[in-house]
Structure 1
Amino acid sequence: MTVRNLDALFAPKSIALIGASNRPGTVGSVLARNLFRAGFQGPVMPINPHEEVIGSTVNYRSVADLPLDPDLAVIATPAASVPALVAELGERGCRAAVVISSGFSPSLRDELLAAARPHLMRIVGPSCVGFVSPQRGINASIAHITPRAGDLAFVSQSGPLALAVLDWADAHGVGFSHLLSIGDMSDVDIGDLLDHLAQDGRTRAILLYAESITGARKFMSAARIAARIKPVVIIKSGRTEAGARAAMSHTGVLAGSDAVCDAAFRRAGMLRVASLRELFEAVGTLACQVRPRGNRLAILTNSGGAGVLATDALEDHGATLAALAPETLSQLEALLPADWSHGNPVEILREATGERYEKALKAILPDHEQDAVLVMNCPTATTDGLDAARATVAALGSTRRVPILTCWMGASTAEPARRLFAERAVPTYETPDGAVRAFMHLVEYRRNQDLLMQTPPPLKVNPAHRETARVLVEEALREGRDVLTEPEAKQLLAAYEIPVVDTRIVTTPQEAAAAAEEIGYPVALKILSRDISHKSEVGGVQLELDSPEAVRIAASDMLDLVRQRKPKAQVDGFTVQQMIVRAHAHELLVGIAEDPNFGPVVLVGQGGTAAEVIADRAVGLPPLNMVLAHDMIARTRVSRLLRGYRERPAADMDAIAHTLVKLSQMAADFAEIAELDINPLLADHSGVIALDGRVVVRPKPAAGTARFAIRPYPEELERDITLRAGAGYHIRPIRPEDEPALIEMLERSSPEDLVLRFFAPVKRIDHSFVARLTQIDYEREMAFVIKPDASMEAPILGAARIIADPDNEAAEYGIMVRSDMKGHGIGSALMRHLLVYGKARGLKRVFGDVLYENRGMIDLAGRLGFSRHVDENDPQICRVEIDLATIDPNLAG
């Protein structure tokens, strides 16, 4: 389930409290006190079989005795009694329950869910501390205080931590729209709540404390939707890589569950922080709508020491101290005393007045070499910190083109300045480190949000020999092997057009020497064995061999070493390959691994024999495109070297990114691939080449691409169709790369047709408008485009989409055909395609709102069997709707 019946939790008309008590200090008495005193406007009905009243409220002996059916139940009785109570409540029409009770075994938890399921009743918990919604007057929790009303929603898997946050928030004047402790997440989980809170008008930002993520695909879909609407900030505990220690490949070892969580949160557009303090700091910072372009910070301060602290913090966080432009420095020279710092940080000396702050800040703000400015002040006996704060605000003016952060150090003397900044929505912090940390929150949040909306360049990952790759994988599985040989692994990579070094297979030292003569020296010699995972660890690799005799001796010695160190290993021979001499090449590790929660992941980082020790890696969730692949590379430490330095030219970053995208495609094509690594992948200015590869396979899991946390592009939905007069067209799901073609389609459509589709004049057809139409979550919505042929270059003639609700019950559709292509049957083909797809994915109905003047669409809907309804709120709109049970699966033709 997802959001079904969550309205009964967030906006109930009546509440039943089962397990209410008059005995002081009990859970039942605390719940009763909180519920009665929170200000809920509906009836709160306590249930206790042994009491006449609870406090001063009439008590009921059982669920059957309740005078009306509750929307929400709060249960605090022994665990064994809860399933029967839930069944009884469900019979009474109760639609949600918060289960405070703990001590549920797995079997008892199953009984609880089985009792709720027939009634579609939602369960929060068990083993939680409850639910609070101050704006609705609900405190169904065992909290020691009722929080003040606000616009932050906080969801926590830890009950005690939720209570600690309440205490902290009360002391700091922070209010909540909702606060939920979700305990064991037997039913309602983080993904469900993200779906609901994303649409909640009372919630400005969503804060999460997570210990584990369940239902990764649902979580990712909900998180990506929520993060596009409002800030979502998360703390994830459990930074451990223990789950990856048993992996057979370098990639599996290095992936690490926490690194995967990091990648997932970034991909969803969320911001991850490390502490509760950062959680609320980040929300306050993001609320000021400050959006730096990059990570270059200019610092203005009256204290050299404070400037050094901020610079150190900037370095620690991986950001950049801005190099101010010469013209800016010249202006500052003219404005400031002779002994100012003459650079960034701009130290304007301890006697700096408000006037000096204002003049210096106005000189720095227009500088294009900085992305944000941090203004700092240390209290002195000779200057007024509030005067400096007023001057800072004055310098900003009303435009706020440049992001500004402030840090007024001190306690009582700085408080008036901080209040002024808060009133003017200027972010302010108590310490240089806190200010820099907030700046990095902004940088990371902007980067994550941009990735949600970036349009990648067209790239057709089209393995020419996909069938060859399939034969390799299936043959290994048929033989009972779980690891491809090195030559097989390289053949698999070559099938996906990843360059590999020429490799010869031989069986004896003499054959190895002969192969080396043919290849040319120097050569690399490696043991060939299906039982040896890491060849170098058993002496199975020799490099830089430059003569037949050297090859023969190395091969003989290698056999002896392997027999000593791995006596049970079956040795099939050797591989001989030419040594690739690239003086300026970097050794990288790239590969595929599988996370138990988020499914396949792709990895890139520094390679070589010390890859696991160095542990420099970035992880990404497939499907990847070139934009996402480049972002992954940029997150590695080795990327600084790849950009070039001194005599070493920059590596071909596109070639590395192409490799990551191809691996992403391979993971989607072959569920049988459990792990894959290329180590090393040599990368330099001329491209990349794989020197070694290792592939771990397993029988194809039933889940297929369902194991992906983000649904890959559904290639299976592509169709060639024939319409009127025998004209042929190609229908396929939309891709992010379709943005330019979709812009062209919209620009070639009449203003009247744009109004019919979007219900208002479209003033600007640009990236921000179209990206939301092309960059979709295939799990929640589907959009199809129709073209004259299957090429990326072909124009888009029409587009259609459906957006399903989180419960996959109903979906809203929208269709548009380019104005000059109407009358060719394109709209009808798209509509039929949508309906057949909707039925196949399990939707029950499809509906749409159509302007009455759009007679063509209303007539088409009528011909296909849609019913019509007048919109009571807007007589210009006709609601059309169809039951998909009536749709012929062959309707699309």
Structure 2
Amino acid sequence: MSIRNLDVLFNPSSIALIGASNRPGSVGAVLARNLFEGGFAGPIMTVNPHERAIRSTLNYRSVAELPEVPDLAVISTPPATVPELIKELGERGCRAAVVITAGFGEGDREEGKRLKQAMLEAARPYLMRIVGPNCLGIMAPHAGVNASFGHVAPRQGHVAFVTQSGAVATSILDWADSRGIGFSHVVSLGGMSDVDFGDMLDYLALDPKTHAILLYVEAVSQARKFLSAARMASRNKPVIVVKAGRSDAGAKAALSHTGALAGSDAVYDAAFRRAGMLRVKTLDELFQAVGTLATGIRVKGDRLAILTNGGGIGVLAVDELAEGHGQLAALSETSVARLNEVLPAAWSRGNPVDILGDAPGKRYTDALEILLDEPAADALLVINCPTAVADSLDAARSVTQAIGSRRVPVLNCWLGEAAGEQARHLFATHGLPSYETPEQAVRAFAHLWQYRHNQQLLMQTPPALAGLEFDQARAEAIIDAVLADERSLLTEPEATALLAAYGIPTAPARTARDPADAAAAAKELGGSVVLKIVSRDISHKSDVGGVALNLTTPEAVHDAAEAMLERVRKVAPEARIDGFNVQKMIRRPEAHELIVGVAEDRVFGPMILFGQGGTAVEVVGDRMMGLPPLNPLLAREMIDGTRVARLLHGYRNRQAVDLEALTLTLVRVSQLVTTLDRVVELDINPLLADASGVIALDARVVVRRDRKPLAIRPYPQSLERHVTTRSGQQYCLRPIRPEDEPALVEMLRRSSPEDLRLRFFAAIKSFDHAFAARLSQIDYDREMALVAFAPGGQEICGVVRLIADPDKDSAEYAVMVRSDIKHTGLGYRLMSEILAYAREAGIRRVFADVLAENEPMLKMARELGFFVSHKLQGDDTVTVEIDLNTR
């Protein structure tokens, strides 16, 4: 369930408060006060079996006595009474409830868990939505709803705040009230028994009164729903999140280095980044970020120019910038020359641009205009320190006048209490961002470019990949054999074979039963070899002395194998020894040791890890996490996010590594984990990388029958097929991919203006990247678009798409065939395929708005069984719909 009935939750026509009280200081009394004083225009009905009136309003003794059905019920009664109350309310037609009461399983109490389940089962037959339990409540200031026991009523505004913590909600309300910040919604989710972050993101993404969404997250419950909703919301408006709790305790039981490194906070960081959200560290930073983004200014990159009248303060800003918040822009010779003409001879002649402590307003204006033309700067930070020889307010006025109505990327920092306060008020009245300290201003700049970067990641079109064949059947057979042997850990030869099936380069190797067999294998391989113990019970071979390097002769291998058996039997006497793995000694003196792996997170399922490898990998801790599936752009983003990436690009006399091969390896690992749904952990450590490519020297793989699903639904390869139209023409049909963007644009360009108008309800003259990316980069969990190609061709001939509502009950369709291919039956076949998909996906209703003049579309809809509504007078569209449950 998702946004169903959330409309009445935040905009009810009537409200019932069950558990209202007249007892001063009680939760029931505070709830009643907030509801009655919130400005709600509809009836508020109180229920208490012992009171005649609440706040001088007639009280009712039970739900049955209520004179009308409430849209929304607010419940603050003992936990044991709640399930029956929910049932009574549902029977009467109530559609949403906020359960304030605690005692529903907090602290893993079994009785509370039973009551929570009973509450949900009572609500289910009536599709009743529940916020809570154990929550502060909800507030919708635009509707006059304050169904909470908060101590401060929020002002009306355009920021939505969603939190799991009631204490955080009250703190934010107090903080925001003193600063005049208003809200469209404040929602305390509490125990998230029903309504969760995914539901709220879906609802708020489409809410016209909400311009930005703030989240305080402690944990996510349904990863796929959360990510789908977050990615959709982030495309529409800024979503800013602060995450509490940073614990790696769950990694202690992992069998691989990757599992130990994949801490929960790193996983959440990867999820937020993938969803296009901006993550901040503190609540104060949360509101600073929304304040900065709300000004409307945007930046193209992370290079900052600094204009200041105080050199020391400028240095503090540079220090903060160096902490990873951006780069200091290198001023061009042209800019320096122009600045020389307008500034005193003693100015700094570099960035930061120090215009000296006696700088009047005109000096600020002259320098500002020059720096705004600087091509190497993506934004400008203007700083003012109060001095006795210059007027800070005059400088602020000059800056506002120079900027005027332009939305240029300028951030202002006026220090000082009295002098700074007047300037900051002036900036606020002009809608310009201003900050009290240079550190705050630099972090605000970071919010701007990080937000821009995350949005670009959401919209980037990855390159098409060719030649990524893999042998899934071979890999599945290896896993089948391991599980049939009642094992979960693959031996190294099995793990290496698994990697090879997916095209990941591995060192030549032979398996051996005993020392003599190992010596023979070494002779066959030739040259120096590495000897490793093979045991289904040993994960880290080095820990038990199970690795011998640089063995140059078969005799040396034989002796090393004998000694290794003795060592391992002493250290791990219970371990079953299956033999040895004799591997060619790979000598790449300039290669970097890296790690690529997969770990299973308890919330988000399989995650991919990349970072610096070797035996000290857990100590170094240099890693990035990513959610599969990965494309080359996402894989490269992971690589560039590590510290070791700076070394991979080459330095001094050391060549850069083959980054294309490294990127492709991450994509292949992603391919492995998305197609093999029993792989739960994987380690490639070390993965050697140099200018000649990459090679995996060691691998561990853990498998299980019941792995968690991927948080992002991968490309549904099962929908690929060949189809034949009614006219006998054949086409290849498959789901759309992000890399189809150029072909999709070409199809639209080759279609007539009239066909484009009938499809998009308007004249379309150009197809920019944002428009085309939205059509080609879809969430397969909520949308589907099938594209048709002529056999062996690369040109798209037709497209049909289906966009489901978050509840996946109804879906809107759209179909288009290239103008020169119309009347071949392709449109009818595309519609038949998408309807079959909708039935299989459990979608009940499929509909579309069609221009009344589009007779070919209406004719096809009727043939397919759609009902065509009558055109309303003055309306140029009709609705066609089909109920798939009756077809």
C-alpha contact (below 8 Å) 1:125/1:187 kept by paired residues: yes
Matched, 1:138 2:140: no
| C-alpha spacing 1:399/1:413, structure 2 compared with 1 (3 Å) | closer
Mapped pair 1:231 → 2:233: no
Aligned counterpart, 2:640: 634
1:88 counterpart letter in structure 2: E
- Opposite residue 759 of structure 1, the aligned amino acid is F
1:535 to partner: Cα distance:
0.8
**Greater Cα offset, 506-515 or 588-597:** 506-515
Partner of 2:109: none
Q: Aligned match of 1:577 in 571, 574, 583?
A: 583
CA distance in structure 1 between the aligned counterparts of 2:796 and 2:864, rounded to whole angstroms: 24
Secondary structure, in 3 states, of the residue corresponding to 1:341?
coil
Contact kept? 2:364, 2:398, Cα under 8 Å = yes
Matched, 1:392 2:399: yes
Give me the TM-score of the superposition, normalised by structure 2: 0.97
Partner of 1:723: 725
Say whether residues 1:93 and 2:122 are aligned partners. Answer: no
Partner of residue 806, structure 1: 806
Aligned-partner Cα distance in 2 for 1:159–1:460: 51
Distance change (3 Å), C-alpha of 1:3 and 1:873? farther
Under a length normalisation based on structure 1, what TM-score does the superposition of the two structures give? 0.97
Q: Does 1:644 align with 2:647?
A: no
CA distance in 2, matches of 1:579, 1:375: 58
1:488-507: CA deviations, max 9, x gaps?
11111111111111112223
Q: Which residue matches 1:482?
A: 488
For residue 512 of structure 1, report the CA deviation from its aligned partner. 3.1
**2:685 corresponds to:** 679
Give the corresponding residue for 2:435. Answer: 429
Separation in 1, partners of 2:521, 2:507: 14
User: Of 782, 798, 801, which residue of structure 1 is paired with 2:784?
Assistant: 782
C-alpha displacement at 1:521, in angstroms? Answer: 2.9
User: In the alignment, which of 513, 524, 528 is matched to residue 534 of structure 2?
Assistant: 528
Amino acid in the other structure paired with 1:229: N
* Separation of aligned partners in 1, 2:726 and 2:130: 53
Find 1:712's aligned residue among 714, 725, 748: 714
1:776/1:782 contact within 8 Å kept:
yes
1:125, distance to aligned residue in structure 2 (A)? 0.8
Work out the percentage of aligned pairs sharing the same amino acid.
59
1:168 has 2:175 as partner: yes
The structure 1 residue matched to 2:676, chosen from 661, 670, 678, is 670
Q: What SS class does the counterpart of residue 320 from structure 2 fall into?
A: helix
1:359 counterpart (350, 362, 366): 366
Contact 2:606 2:628 in 1 (8 A): yes
Distance 1:476 1:513 in 2: 27
Match of 2:271 in 1: 264
| 1:218 correspondence with 2:220 | no
Give me the whole-angstrom Cα distance separating, in 1, the residues matched to 2:870 and 2:418.
62
Query: For 1:464 and 1:100, how far apart are their aligned partners in 2?
Result: 53
Amino acid at match of 1:715: Q
Correspondence for 2:631 among 625, 637, 661: 625
- Identify unmatched segments of 5+ residues in structure 2: 105-111
Q: Could you tell me how far 1:460 is from its partner in structure 2? A: 4.2
Counterpart of 1:21 in structure 2: which amino acid?
S
Deviations 1:659-694 (A, max 9, x none): 111111111211111101100111112211111111
RMSD of aligned C-alpha atoms? Answer: 1.5
Structure 2: which amino acid aligns with 1:778? Y
- Partner Cα separation in structure 2 for residue 354 and residue 812 of structure 1: 57
Q: Are residues 1:51 and 2:51 paired?
A: yes
- What is aligned with 1:857? 857
Give, in angstroms, the shift of residue 725 of structure 1: 4.4
Aligned to 1:18: 18
Shift of 1:784: 0.7
C-alpha distance in 1, partners of 2:69/2:854?
45
Q: 1:335 to 1:510 in 2, by over 3 A?
A: farther
Could you tell me how far apart the structure 1 residues matched to 2:606 and 2:42 are? 48
CA displacement at 1:66 relative to structure 2: 1.0
Task: Label 1:700 to 1:178 Cα distance change in 2 as closer, same or farther (>3 A).
Answer: closer
Structure 2 counterpart of 1:252:
259
**Per-residue deviation, 1:319:** 2.2
What CA distance in whole angstroms lies between the structure 1 residues aligned with 2:25 and 2:96? 26
Is the aligned partner of 1:114 residue 2:121? yes
Verify the 8 A CA contact 1:461 1:665 in the aligned structure 2: no
The 5 A counterparts of 1:556-567 are: 556-567=562-573
* Cα deviation, residue 873, structure 1: 7.9
Residue 403 of structure 1 aligns with which residue? Answer: 409
- 1:543 aligns with 549
Q: Distance in 2 between matches of 1:871 and 1:17?
A: 44
The Cα of 1:788 is off from its aligned counterpart by 0.7
Q: How many residues align?
A: 880
Q: Note if contact 1:463-1:495 (Cα within 8 Å) is conserved in structure 2.
A: no
Cα distance 1:429–1:40, how it changes in 2: closer, same or farther (>3 A)?
same
In 1, Cα distance between the equivalents of 2:373 and 2:551? 60
CA shift at 1:349, angstroms?
1.1
> Within 1, Cα distance between the matches of 2:698 and 2:570?
24
My pick for the range that moved more, 753-762 or 718-727, is 718-727
Q: Is the CA contact (8 Å cut-off) linking 1:317 and 1:437 kept in structure 2? A: no
Match of 2:846 in 1: 846
Q: Which moved more, 1:811-820 or 1:337-346?
A: 337-346
2: CA distance between counterparts of 1:632 and 1:886? Answer: 48
Residue 335 of structure 1: how far off its partner (Å): 2.7
CA distance in 2, matches of 1:92, 1:532: 62
Q: Distance in 1 between matches of 2:654 and 2:432?
A: 44
Distance, in Å, in 1 between the alignment partners of 2:247 and 2:280 is 16
Q: Which amino acid aligns with 2:521?
A: A
Aligned partner of 1:472 among 469, 474, 478:
478
Match of 1:451 among 449, 457, 462: 457
Change (3 A) 1:364 1:562: same
CA displacement at 1:717 relative to structure 2 = 0.9
CA displacement 1:136-189 (0-9 Å, x = unmatched): 111111111211111111111011111111111111111111111111111111
Helix, strand or coil for the counterpart of 1:383?
Answer: coil
Contact 1:461 1:662 in 2 (8 A): no
Partner of 1:891: none
- Amino acid in the other structure paired with 2:628: P
2:347 counterpart residue number = 340
For each residue in 1:532-589, what CA deviation from the matched residue of structure 2 results, as whole angstroms up to 9, or x when unmatched? 1001111111223334444333333322221221111122222222222223211110
Matched, 1:767 2:769: yes
Q: Report if the CA contact (8 A) 2:325-2:443 is conserved.
A: no
- Give the equivalent residue in structure 2 for 1:349: 356
1:322 is matched with 329
Cα deviation digits, residues 471-515 of structure 1 (max 9, x gap): 111111111121111111111111111111111222333443443
Say whether the 8 Å CA contact 2:325–2:442 is kept in structure 1: no
Per-residue deviation, residues 323-351 of structure 1 (Å, max 9, x unmatched):
22222222223332222222111111111
Shift of 1:397: 4.9
- SS of residue in 1 equivalent to 2:479: helix
> What are the Cα deviations for residues 255-278 of structure 1, in whole angstroms up to 9, with x where unaligned?
111111111111111111111101
Shift of the alpha carbon at 1:71?
A: 0.6
The one-character-per-residue Cα deviations of 1:269-290 (angstroms, maximum 9, x if unpaired) are 1111111101100001111222
Partner of 2:107: none
Q: Which letter does structure 2 place at the counterpart of 1:756? A: L
Which secondary structure does the structure 1 equivalent of 2:177 belong to? helix
For 2:450 and 2:519, the matched residues in 1 are separated by: 54
Distance 1:226 1:738 in 2: 23
User: How far did residue 459 of structure 1 move?
Assistant: 1.3
Tell whether 2:669 aligns with 1:659.
Answer: no
Judge which range, 285-294 or 103-112, deviates more. 285-294
Question: Displacement of 1:426 after TM fit?
Answer: 2.1
Amino acid corresponding to residue 447 of structure 2 in structure 1: H
- 2:299 equivalent to 1:303: no
Following the alignment from structure 2 to structure 1, what is the Cα–Cα distance between the partners of residues 8 and 663? Answer: 48
